[in-house]
Structure 1
Amino acid sequence: MDTQRKDQEERRERVKDRIATTTAVIVLLAVWEGWVRLAHIPASMFSSPTQIVQATIDAWPTLWPATQVTAFEGFVGFAFAVLSGILVGIAFYCFRTLNAALYPLLYAAQTMPLITIAPLFLIWFGFEISGKIVITAFWGLFPIAVQTIRGLKAVPQFYSDVALTCGATPVWTLWHVKLRVAARQIFGGVRISAAYIFATATTAEYLGARKGLGIWLQAAYNSFRTPLIFSATIVIVALTVLLMAIVNVCERVLLGPVENDENPDE
C-alpha cells in the first residue's frame, strides 16, 4: 500500500513538473513574440517565433536535405565515439602504465577548441562527409573514455573478489561484472557526448564542407536571413533531443530504471 501511494505521488510530481515546463515555454514564446512585434524589431536583426516557423516552412525543401547530411554524420560519428570511447577507457583501466602516461593528455584533450584542430582534419580528409564523421567521432569519444575509466575505478573491489572466488576469469569479470556496475557512469559520459555531437558536426561543416547544416547556416548568415539561422538552431536542438532520448531508452532497456539500483530490494 505504501509503495502504491509512493508511486502515485511520484506520478503526480512528474505531471506537475511537465505542466510547469510547458507553461514556462508557452509564456517565453508569447513574451518573445510580443516583444518583437511591439518593438518593431526588423526580422534581419531578431526574429519572432512565427517568423521563424514561416521561414522554416518556406525553406524546408533545402533545409531537409542539409538536415539529413548532418544527421547522418552525427549518428554515425556518435556510434563510433561510443564504441571507441569505451574501448579506450577499458584499455586505460587495464594497463596501468598507459593510464599513468596518457590519462592527463586524454583528460586535457576535452578542452581543445574545435576551431584550432578542424583545419587539420580538412587537410587530411578534405571536404567530404567521411571527414566530418571522423572529427565528430574523435571529439565525442573523450567524455565517454574518461567516464569509462572513472566508472571502472569506482567499482568496489568485493565485486571482483566474489566473481573470482566463484571461478570467473579476470576477463569475464571485467566484461560481465565491472562494466555492468560501472555502466551508469559510462552512460553519463555517453550523454555528455550526445549533448554536443550535432553541434560539433555542424561546426565542422561550417569550417569547410560541401553540404550539411553548417553550409546551410553559413548561406543564411551571408544573406542576413536571421530567421533561417534560428531554423538551423532549432533543427540542431531537435536532433540532439532525439539522440538524448535514444540514449535514455537504451540505458533503461539495458540497465533498468535508476530506482532499481537505488532500491534493489523493491
Structure 2
Amino acid sequence: MAFPDRRHEPVRHESPTLRALRRHWPTAAVVVAILAIWQIWVDAAHPPVTAIASPSRIVVAAAQAWPTLWPATLVTFAEGVCGFLIACIIGVLLGVGIHCSRTAYAALFPLLAAAQTLPLISIAPLFLIWFGFEPVGKVVIVAVFALFPIVVQTMRGLEAVPAFYDDVATTCGASRAWTLFHVDLRVAARQIFGGVRVAAAYVFATAATAEYLGARRGLGIWLQAAYNSFQTPLIFAATFVIIVMTALLLLAVHAVERLTIGAPGDDEDPDA
C-alpha cells in the first residue's frame, strides 16, 4: 500500500497573533466565566451592597468616580514605576557585586534578606517620619521591597553560567570585567528577568499600601476614603485598577525581555 509523499508539502506556520490567541484564550475564558458567575450570583442572591458589589455596579461606580480615581491612579503609578526602576538598577548592580565578592555577600546579603522580613506596617511609619507625606517615601519603600528578588535572581543567574563561557572568552583575550558584562550577564539575563517579573508583580500593591498608611494623594488614600464611607464598589474599582496596572507593567517587562534577549523559545536554538 503506497502512502502519500508529504515531504514537499509547505510547512504551515501560525501567525504570532494566532499563537497568542491560542495561548491566552483559556485564561480569558476563565475570567469571563468568573465575572459572569459573579454577576449572576449577586443578581440572584441580593447580598448587602456594603458586603459585595456586582461587576456591573463596580464599573458604573468607577465611571462615576473617574474624575478623582484617575489622578489617584497616576500618583500610585508614578511611585510604583519609579521605585521599580530604582530597584532594577540597584538590584542588578548589587547582585553582580555580591557574585564577584564573597566579602560583599557576607556583608550585604543577610541585610537584604532581613529587610524582606520586615512587615510594611511597621516600617511605613518610620518612612512617614523621615520623608513626610511626600511620594518620595513611597518610592523608597517600593524600591526596598522590590530589591530582594532581583538581587537573588541576578546572583543565581550568574552562578549558573557554565564555566566554559568564561574559559572561551578568557582564551580569546577578554578581560574579567568584559566577560562579566558581555558574556555572563547575557547568559544570566533570562533568570534576571525572572526576578524582575517577581518584583513587578507587587510594586503597585506595595505603593498603595504605603499610601494607605500615610500620604496626601494616591490610590491608598482613595481606598481609605472609600472604606470610611462604606463604598464597597469603589474599593473593588481601586483593586481592579491596581491589577490592571500590574498587568501592564508585567507586559512591559515581557516586551523589554523579548527586545533585548529574544523570546524564551530562542534559548533552545544554539544559533539564535
TM-score w.r.t. the length of structure 2 is 0.92
Whether the aligned pair in 2 keeps the contact of 1:92 and 1:149 (CA below 8 Å) is yes
Q: How far is 1:10 from its partner?
A: 9.4
Mapping for residues 71-220 of structure 1, pairs under 5 Å: 71-220=77-226
Counterpart of 2:38? 32
Unpaired runs of 5+ residues, structure 1, are none
Whether the aligned pair in 2 keeps the contact of 1:93 and 1:152 (CA below 8 Å) is yes
Q: How far is 1:148 from its partner?
A: 0.6
Q: How far is 1:80 from its partner?
A: 0.5
Q: C-alpha separation between the residues in 2 aligned to 1:75 and 1:15? A: 28
Counterpart of 1:247? 253
Counterpart of 2:65? 59
**Does residue 234 of structure 1 match 2:240?**
yes
Q: 1:50 aligns with which of 49, 56, 64?
A: 56
CA 1:6–1:92: 2 relative to 1, 3 Å: farther
Counterpart of 2:4? none
Pick the structure with greater CA Rg: 2
Q: C-alpha separation between the residues in 1 aligned to 2:185 and 2:63? A: 46
Q: Which has the higher helix share?
A: 1
Of 53-62 and 141-150, deviating more is 141-150
Counterpart of 2:227? 221
Of 28-37 and 112-121, deviating more is 112-121
Q: How far is 1:59 from its partner?
A: 0.2
CA 1:206–1:158: 2 relative to 1, 3 Å: same
Q: C-alpha separation between the residues in 1 aligned to 2:118 and 2:134? A: 23
- The amino acid across from 1:149 in the alignment is M
- The alignment covers a number of residue pairs equal to 265
- The amino acid across from 2:128 in the alignment is L
The secondary structure found in structure 2 opposite 1:44 is: coil
Q: How far is 1:223 from its partner?
A: 0.5
Unpaired runs of 5+ residues, structure 2, are 1-6
The secondary structure found in structure 2 opposite 1:42 is: coil
Query: CA RMSD, aligned part only?
Result: 2.0
Q: What is the identity percentage for the equivalent residue pairs of Structure 1 and Structure 2?
A: 58
CA 1:164–1:13: 2 relative to 1, 3 Å: same
